[in-house]
Structure 1
Amino acid sequence: MIQIRHALITDLNSILQIVNREIIYGTAFWMTKVRTYDEQLVWFENHEKEGFPIFVAVNEQQKILGFATYGHFRAYDGYKHTVEHSVYLIPEAQGQGLGKKLMKHLVNYASQNNVHVMVAAITANNQASIRLHEWFGFKHAGILPQTGIKFEKWLDLLFMYKIIN
């Protein structure tokens, strides 16, 4: 049985592995330099300090299968009720409904914690992520063409949003 819980500092190596795998092989995370443990620790500590959640999905053996989080959309006061979120899974856990479980948990948490709008910034050809967001009622807000580059290819950025309350 899959359990979703708040991430612990002891989960950081597993989260780092998921992040670095996406940096090395994927286009969902537009970084090209792998993160160090210390960099990921700063990210974790900043989320805790700001009161932003980090949830992990674990199996019966407590293996981390994915994580979901949100943080500032923009760091100005006027955006304080808007967050940008992320959901990442290990490859073996993809296509099994785990993304929906993590997203449901994240949206429910946001609705209880003064979030008005959730924003997704998605690589425009990531059909799995787009379908996941549409399933949760996220609306398309527009595409910024050729906004980023990875693997020597220009990438388009799709924004989607959901008004929570």
Structure 2
Amino acid sequence: MIRDARPEDAEAITEIYNDAVRNTTAIWNEIEVDAENRRAWIAERQGAGYPLLVWDEGGRAVGYASFGPFRPHDGYRLSVEHSVYVHRDHRSGGKGAQMMEALIERARADGYHVMVGAIDAANAVSIRLHERLGFAHVGLMPQVGKKFGRWLDLALLTLLLDDRERP
């Protein structure tokens, strides 16, 4: 059910992304995108060697997950930040958790040391999911974002992917 994304998944990914833009604080963007934007994003993400996974049901992506650089500087190259989104009609049954587990395994296989989750602090469901997967709270950044006419706090959670003492 989980597979690598393909260019033809762009329309489904666009629908999921735009729904999150319109209706949630999971994405702190207010501008919707089109399928061409998502096709370019898929190519860019995969071209840089980062995974982009989809949950496939009957040939249609109903969720997607990826990770990419945490910050652009060399000192952060062993840390990645992830994102997982599931279509609003498919948010039960553990799809998000299973895609997260697949991302964690990819990150370990690719030699990364830390995975970062940056989550709306009011999103208790997502925070609980991360805690179940072993993520630890490492910070809270009050009022660093805005959406829907209110300030948003950002919770930072991390997962150590290995036990290396030195990079």
TM-score > 0.5, shorter chain as reference: yes
1:99 correspondence with 2:99: no
Deviation at 1:148, TM superposition (A): 0.5
1:12-64 Cα distance to aligned partner (Å, 9 max, x none): 111111001100111110000101223223321211221000000012x1121
Uncovered stretches (5+) of structure 1, i.e. residues with no partner = none
Do 2:6 and 2:42's aligned partners in 1 also have CA atoms closer than 8 Å?
no
Do 2:5 and 2:42's aligned partners in 1 also have CA atoms closer than 8 Å?
no
* Mapped partners of 1:164, 1:25: distance in 2: 32
Match of 1:69 in 2: 66
1:37-96 Cα distance to aligned partner (Å, 9 max, x none): 23223321211221000000012x112120110001001111111000001001121132
TM-score of the two chains, using structure 2 as the length reference: 0.94
CA-atom RMSD in angstroms: 0.9
TM superposition outliers: structure 1 runs of 4+ over 3 Å: none
1:162 correspondence with 2:159: yes
1:38 correspondence with 2:72: no
Aligned residue-pair number: 162
Do 2:9 and 2:60's aligned partners in 1 also have CA atoms closer than 8 Å?
no
Superposition pairs of residues 112-151 of structure 1, within 5 angstroms: 112-151=109-148
Match of 1:79 in 2: 76
The partner residue of 2:46 within 40, 45, 48 is 48
Do 2:26 and 2:119's aligned partners in 1 also have CA atoms closer than 8 Å?
yes
* Mapped partners of 1:155, 1:118: distance in 2: 22
* Mapped partners of 2:59, 2:93: distance in 1: 18
* Mapped partners of 2:62, 2:36: distance in 1: 22
Do 2:115 and 2:158's aligned partners in 1 also have CA atoms closer than 8 Å?
yes
Secondary structure of 2:155's aligned partner = strand
* Mapped partners of 1:146, 1:152: distance in 2: 12
Uncovered stretches (5+) of structure 2, i.e. residues with no partner = 163-167
